[in-house]
Amino acid sequence: MQVTSMVEDPELVQRRRKEIVAAAAELFSKQGFYRTTIKEIASLAGISSGLVYQYVREKDDLLLLVILEVVDAYAREIPPALAGIDDPIERLVATVDAYCRVVDKRRAATVLAYRSTKSLSPDRRRFIQRRELETNQMISAAIADCIRSRLVRKINVDVLTYQIVLIAHGWALKSWYLKTRLSIEQYIRDSLDILLGGILTPSGRRRYAARKSRRK
Amino acid sequence: MQVTSMVEDPELVQRRRKEIVAAAAELFSKQGFYRTTIKEIASLAGISSGLVYQYVREKDDLLLLVILEVVDAYAREIPPALAGIDDPIERLVATVDAYCRVVDKRRAATVLAYRSTKSLSPDRRRFIQRRELETNQMISAAIADCIRSRLVRKINVDVLTYQIVLIAHGWALKSWYLKTRLSIEQYIRDSLDILLGGILTPSGRRRYAARKSRRK
DNA sequence: TACGATTGATTGAATGGTCAGTCAATTAGG
DNA sequence: CCTAATTGACTGACCATTCAATCAATCGTA
């Protein structure tokens, strides 16, 4: 599970790993995991191919480290964005905003995570998924808060949480289209407008309510 | 761009390709593109490895055919679900419902499409993206209809379209979590409830409106 | 009808290239 | 000098792709 290194000096291990993982992230994002060779990674990191294996046991380790980087960035960068915000709605908005911005900063890596999580060993995949759930937990908490204060009605928290996660990830996954039409600011604004403003007009609401009672 | 075959008889080509692509889809979904060998595909399809190359020029062709299958399924199966539905809201609901169900039937293949589209040549990737846009067009049309009839307010159609696409795809992408907690029927119902019912309570709406005017 | 010739499908062994991972030799710094 | 870090040539496996050989079906002709 843990990735082990042959080198003793922990400071050196940290520095070198950072360089290697950065190089790996760049190449994996651009070319994909399987099309990237250790030689390429090493040369981009400015070291020899053999040295990589002093800091990592196998190529798969690099994939784990790269994906972990992304997932941790989410967990690391969202909380500070909420600091000092009390109103539940404001917190929810800030969460969505922060999540989208973290993803925006790491679009390529986010897409990589989607492409490659399945290439991890089952153990490691589960490990990443657990981390992902921890991030989602922050979103769920913000939603639950809103419900507790009666600002949001009792919708399915899991489903809304994933809608938000997917809105954020969607900015990376579909950036080939979205980026040609919107800035991240507009995307966040319009997404929140749909989510919080609701989409129906008063007459739409009447129609929808009628439909619902008909279905009963 | 087109995938060519060495075999003359078009009937045979169609039958064999169907077998080969089905085998490829199954193995690519389970093991990923790069971990799957032509030998495995051939033996699952009940033929020799050499024969595969009579129906396909290279391994990459198989990936294109497999992904095309999925994307086409969307375009093929959504329209019939809308037949005879006139009310714009009902059409929108039916579109979301149909899309989610198509994805549900092809969860593994949908995930595969996300994992592997980047492994296609740029030309082929663009080709698939164009197909995807055609599918999205159906969703956008349903939304635009609702707006035209004043049942939905003037939200950003592109953004809402992608929210819906991602809700549908999300069922496949996050099925490792969602499937343990919901059935597809519940997922569709709860997603629509959030989307159409809106999430805010009256007091939430007041709060949100106040926030918006403050921002101006 | 019979049977050699032709065509096209099919097989699977052989080829060639690629790369992950290893290790003996070299370097640097303490 | 030691010792840990570093190099890069090397190895062994693996696998996409090719191709010579086989097989089955159909055709043409007597």
Give the residue from A90, A119, A163, A167 with the most B CB atoms within 10 Å of its CB, the best one to mutate. Answer: A163
Q: How is residue B24 annotated by DSSP? A: H
Give the CA-to-C1' distance from B45 to D24 in angstroms: 21
Question: Does residue A216 register a pLDDT over 60?
Answer: no
Residue of B179, B202, B182 lying closest to B190 (CA atoms): B182
Question: Does residue A196 register a pLDDT over 80?
Answer: yes
At B8 the pLDDT is 67
Answer with the residue of higher pLDDT: B71 or B215.
B71
Tell me the pLDDT tens digit for each residue of A161-175. 999 999 999 999 999
At A144 the pLDDT is 97
Per-residue pLDDT, averaged over A24-33, amounts to 97
Give the CA-to-C1' distance from A103 to C17 in angstroms: 39
At B215 the pLDDT is 67
Question: Does residue A21 register a pLDDT over 90?
Answer: yes
Please, are residues B115 and A114 in contact by the beta-carbon 8 Å criterion? yes
Please, are residues B173 and A114 in contact by the beta-carbon 8 Å criterion? yes
Residue of A133, A137, A138, A143 lying closest to A92 (CA atoms): A143
Chain-wide mean pLDDT for chain A? 94
Per-residue pLDDT, averaged over A133-153, amounts to 96
Give the residue from B59, B126, B194, B216 with the most A CB atoms within 10 Å of its CB, the best one to mutate. Answer: B194
Query: In terms of DSSP H, where are the helices of A58-156?
Result: 59-82, 88-105, 107-116, 122-148
Whole-model pTM?
0.94
Q: Taking the C-alpha atoms of B23, B25, B27 and B33 in order, what is their torsion angle to the nearest 10 degrees?
A: 130
Give chain A's end-to-end CA distance (angstroms, integer). 51
Residue of A35, A157, A14 lying closest to A92 (CA atoms): A157
Please, are residues A147 and A160 in contact by the beta-carbon 8 Å criterion? no
Tokens of A174: 């579909």
Tell me the pLDDT tens digit for each residue of B43-81. 999 999 999 999 999 999 999 999 999 999 999 999 999
Question: Does residue B216 register a pLDDT over 60?
Answer: no
Query: In terms of DSSP H, where are the helices of B32-121?
Result: 38-45, 49-55, 59-82, 88-105, 107-116
How far out from the chain centre does Cα B132 lie? 8
Give the CA-to-C1' distance from B60 to C16 in angstroms: 19
At A20 the pLDDT is 96
Nucleotide nearest to B9 (CA to C1'): C8
A4 pLDDT tier (thresholds 50, 70, 90): confident
- Give percent of chain A above pLDDT 90: 88
Residue with tokens 């495995």: B40
Tell me the pLDDT tens digit for each residue of A48-85. 999 999 999 999 999 999 999 999 999 999 999 999 99
Which neighbouring-strand residues pair with A152?
A: B200
Quick check: helix, strand or coil at residue A152?
strand
For strand D, give the nucleotides within 7 A of a protein CB: 4-9, 14-20
Tokens of A4: 């082990």
Tell me the pLDDT tens digit for each residue of B2-45. 787 777 677 777 899 999 999 999 999 999 999 999 999 999 99
At A44 the pLDDT is 96
At B213 the pLDDT is 82
Per-residue pLDDT, averaged over A180-199, amounts to 96
Quick check: helix, strand or coil at residue B152?
strand
- Listed by number, the residues of chain B in 80-109 with a beta carbon closer than 8 Å to a beta carbon of chain A are 87, 89-90, 93
